[in-house]
């Protein structure tokens, strides 16, 4: 008799080896494949050397995927119980950034914990998904739009988003707000609320421009609208990105032959603009392969969500997929000049420890949902702290 859920054919809970057997190894293989593309690109942009980026990223991946698999094996009910505490700790870390944060590229986004350097805003992306999923798990579909239920859910999103915006980190703020509101929508938010809020948001754009955005953020918008106005200054990054993408053509210049990246015309080639490196060296064909792998990962995630018994597990799976999709959309649109530059890495490909670890932790949660998809969590349990 096949095992269709968290329990074996005899009714006993799955043992360790059973969990390994039912784990979605296809998803693990897809994730590893995308990371390998990242290793190759980091090797290329370093002039055909594993140092300084590829070697470190491979080590980080080894640690990260071990953590991912460990998280996957933990019962989803444990993550349900820890959802609020994890959110609370992440909120404290975000607050700590204001007092002991380390400045990087003009923004305080990092804190040092012993030998580790953490970016709390990245960890909050996972914490928010967990806390919001737990809260929404305890709400009936028809009650999601009630003010008494909706306001606490919005506060769970807006409090960390506000702290991240202060740092300032507009890109991560966008992901927190868009991902959080998207999850509330998936939980059953009525269009009668969505449409007026969208209209109000559009009407508030002039106020946001005048009072919320800092001067350098306004400059990014000006550069996005007219990059040629300062081709050697503010518009340099996006112009070089467009040149590199266009020069790649259909099949690219070849591995390690990207002139824009190898000759250092392309800025932040190992992080924000690594998508451009792929396009220059492998052309449209290479970009489509990466997009195909991303699409396959998202399809696996949506399948997990649809196949999960508990609302908590379903929302966690969809929240992880939403975050991953937002990463992809923002980075690729930024690289092509479709939106202003906001400093969001390409998931699993760009160089960076906290960003890579955060994505892998998220997929660990997704795999935990998949392995324990037969677990039924009572709705009333969501109200217990």
Q: Is the pLDDT of residue 4 over 80?
A: no
pLDDT of residue 188: 86
pLDDT of residue 170: 82
DSSP string across 90-133: HHHHHHHHHHHPEEETTEEEEEEETTEEE-HHHHHHHHHHHHHH
Residue 11 lies in a domain: no
Task: Name every residue whose Cβ is closer than 8 Å to that of residue 153 and which is 6 or more positions away in sequence.
Answer: 132, 135, 136, 144, 184
Average pLDDT over residues 197-218: 74
Q: Is the pLDDT of residue 42 over 90?
A: yes
Q: Is the pLDDT of residue 64 over 70?
A: yes
Domain that holds residue 349: 16-383
CA-CA distance, 359 to 370, in Å (whole number)? Answer: 17
Question: How many structural domains is the chain composed of?
Answer: 1
Taking only the tens place, the pLDDT of each residue in 135-156 is 999 888 888 888 889 999 999 9
Partners of 107 in beta bridges: 104
Q: Is the pLDDT of residue 10 over 60?
A: no
Residue 53 lies in a domain: yes
Q: Is the pLDDT of residue 116 over 70?
A: no
CA-CA distance, 305 to 359, in Å (whole number)? Answer: 17
Residue 202's pLDDT band, with cuts at 50, 70 and 90, is confident
Residue 305 lies in a domain: yes
Residue 9 lies in a domain: no
Q: Is the pLDDT of residue 235 over 80?
A: no
pLDDT of residue 107: 53
C-alpha R_g of the chain: 21
Q: Report the alpha-carbon angle 247-248-251, nearest 5.
A: 145
Query: In this predicted model, which residue has the larger pLDDT, 203 or 104?
Result: 203
CB atoms within 10 A of CB 153: 21
Residue 6 lies in a domain: no
Q: Is the pLDDT of residue 69 over 70?
A: yes
Residue 138 lies in a domain: yes
pLDDT of residue 3: 41
Residue 330 lies in a domain: yes
Taking only the tens place, the pLDDT of each residue in 255-297 is 988 877 776 667 778 888 899 999 999 999 999 999 999 999 9
Residue 93 lies in a domain: yes
Taking only the tens place, the pLDDT of each residue in 325-350 is 999 999 999 888 888 888 789 999 99
CA-CA distance, 228 to 231, in Å (whole number)? Answer: 5
**Distance from CA of residue 326 to its chain's centroid?**
7
Residue 11's pLDDT band, with cuts at 50, 70 and 90, is very low
């Amino acid at each position: 008799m096949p095992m269709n859920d968290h329990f074996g054919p005899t009714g006993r809970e799955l043992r360790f080896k059973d969990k390994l057997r039912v784990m979605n190894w296809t998803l693990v293989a897809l994730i590893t494949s995308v990371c390998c593309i990242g290793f190759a690109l980091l090797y290329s942009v370093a002039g055909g050397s594993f140092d300084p980026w590829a070697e470190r990223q491979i080590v980080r991946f080894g640690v990260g995927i071990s953590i991912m698999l460990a998280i996957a094996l933990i019962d989803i009910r444990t993550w349900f119980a820890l959802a609020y505490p994890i959110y609370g700790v992440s909120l404290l870390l975000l607050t700590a950034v204001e007092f002991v944060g380390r400045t990087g590229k003009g923004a305080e986004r990092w804190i040092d914990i012993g030998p580790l350097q953490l970016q709390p805003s990245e960890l909050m992306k996972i914490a928010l998904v967990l806390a919001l999923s737990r809260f929404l798990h305890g709400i009936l579909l028809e009650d999601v739009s009630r003010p008494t239920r909706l306001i606490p859910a919005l506060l769970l999103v807006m409090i960390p988003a506000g702290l991240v915006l202060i740092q300032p980190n507009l890109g991560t703020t966008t992901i927190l707000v868009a991902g959080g509101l998207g999850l509330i929508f998936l939980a059953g938010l009525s269009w009668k609320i969505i449409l007026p809020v969208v209209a109000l948001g559009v009407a508030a754009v002039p106020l946001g421009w005048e009072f919320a955005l800092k001067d350098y953020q306004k400059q990014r918008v000006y550069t996005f609208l007219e990059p040629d106005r300062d081709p050697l200054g503010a518009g340099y990054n996006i112009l070089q990105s467009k040149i590199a993408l266009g020069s790649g053509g259909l099949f690219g210049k070849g591995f390690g032959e990207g002139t824009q990246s190898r000759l250092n015309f392309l800025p932040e080639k190992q992080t924000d603009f690594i998508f451009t490196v792929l396009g220059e060296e492998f052309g449209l064909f290479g970009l489509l392969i990466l997009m195909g792998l991303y699409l396959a990962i998202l399809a696996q995630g949506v399948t997990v969500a649809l196949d999960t018994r508990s609302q908590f597990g379903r929302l966690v799976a969809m929240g992880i997929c939403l975050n991953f999709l937002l990463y992809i959309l923002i980075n690729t649109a930024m690289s092509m000049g479709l939106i202003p530059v906001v400093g969001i890495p390409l998931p699993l490909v760009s160089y960076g420890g906290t960003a890579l670890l955060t994505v892998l932790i998220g997929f660990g949660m997704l795999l935990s949902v998949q392995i324990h998809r037969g677990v039924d969590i009572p709705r009333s349990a969501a109200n217990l702290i």
